[in-house]
Amino acid sequence: MHKITLLTAVIASLSAAAHAGALLWYQCGGFSWTGPTDCDEGYCNKINEYYSMCLPLSELTSTTTTTTTMTP
């Protein structure tokens, strides 16, 4: 019984480590970056070619375009 529990715990920890992404506000990419390129939470935002950072989804911005037509 204990062997199965231990084996399950080891497999779970290895699985979690294999899929670990960067934490919020940490680096997740950039030129020559060798660390994680995905985020545990949020999304990986490219700041420039050298640095990307994990940001919360609440930091996503959208652009709205409004067109006004004037008649003479």
- In the block, tokens 């084996």 appear at 7
pLDDT reading at 63 higher than 90? no
Q: How confident is the model at residue 9 (pLDDT cuts 50, 70, 90)?
A: low
Residue 63 CA to chain centroid, in angstroms? 22
pLDDT reading at 33 higher than 60? yes
pLDDT of residue 8: 58
- 2 vs 41: which has the higher pLDDT: 41
Q: What is the mean pLDDT of residues 17-44?
A: 92
Q: Global pTM?
A: 0.57
Radius of gyration of the chain (CA): 21
